[in-house]
Amino acid sequence: MTGAVKSALTLGALALLVVVAALWGWAALTEPLPQEEPVAICEDTTVAAGSEVRRDQVVVSVFNGSGRSGLAGATSAQLAERGFVEGDVGDSPLPATTTQIWASEPKNPAVLLVKRQFRRAQVVEGDALGPGVVVVVGEEFQSLRKKQVESVVAKADATYCRATGSE
């Protein structure tokens, strides 16, 4: 094999290598970036009768059923200061006069724990507007109770949305 043929074969192989590398690079460049999977704020957990449910295990979503601006956000912040995990905050689809806790199970320990933070809160049937226990603060809401209830003991087996990462 002559020197000219060797040079031509070497240049051909190198050119093919450059084309393959360019195609691989283009495919990698135009590939969508990886997306992080969102972590759920809470997961349904069953507690046995006699088990303790603490504030740091309960997610609370607060919605404003009054005409006062920022009431849901302020109430959610107060609950977070007490150790609850903040869920969604927003406006309620329905107006409310009193503080309401929307739940299908009024005796659920997470619902009872949240209810004990409020004066004259009522548990009513309602949609799950957000994760965890849903609270709708109404026109008559002024403040949380001064007495802070830290935990409740489940009287019967129950399921609630336990905050992710709580123990």
Point out the least confidently predicted range of 48-57, 104-113, 119-128: 119-128
3-state secondary structure of 125: coil
Model confidence band, residue 8 (pLDDT cutoffs 50, 70, 90):
confident
Q: Show me where the domains of the chain are located.
A: 1-35, 42-163
Distance, in Å, from the CA atom of 96 to the CA atom of 85, rounded to the nearest integer, reads: 23
Distances (CA, A) of 72 to 64, 76, 84, 102, 111: 5, 6, 14, 15, 18
166 has pLDDT over 80: no
Buried b (16+ CB within 10 A) or exposed e, 1-12: eeeeeeeeeeee
CA nearest neighbour of 57 among 164, 138, 156, 129: 164
- Read off the pLDDT of residues 10-24 as tens digits, 9 standing for 90 and up: 898 989 999 999 999
- Read off the pLDDT of residues 46-70 as tens digits, 9 standing for 90 and up: 999 999 999 999 999 999 999 899 9
Q: Model pTM?
A: 0.76
Distance, in Å, from the CA atom of 133 to the CA atom of 139, rounded to the nearest integer, reads: 20
> Which pLDDT score is estimated for 1?
77
Structure tokens at 73: 């956000």
Buried b (16+ CB within 10 A) or exposed e, 87-114: bbbeebeeebebbbbbbeeeebbbbbbb
Model confidence band, residue 7 (pLDDT cutoffs 50, 70, 90):
confident
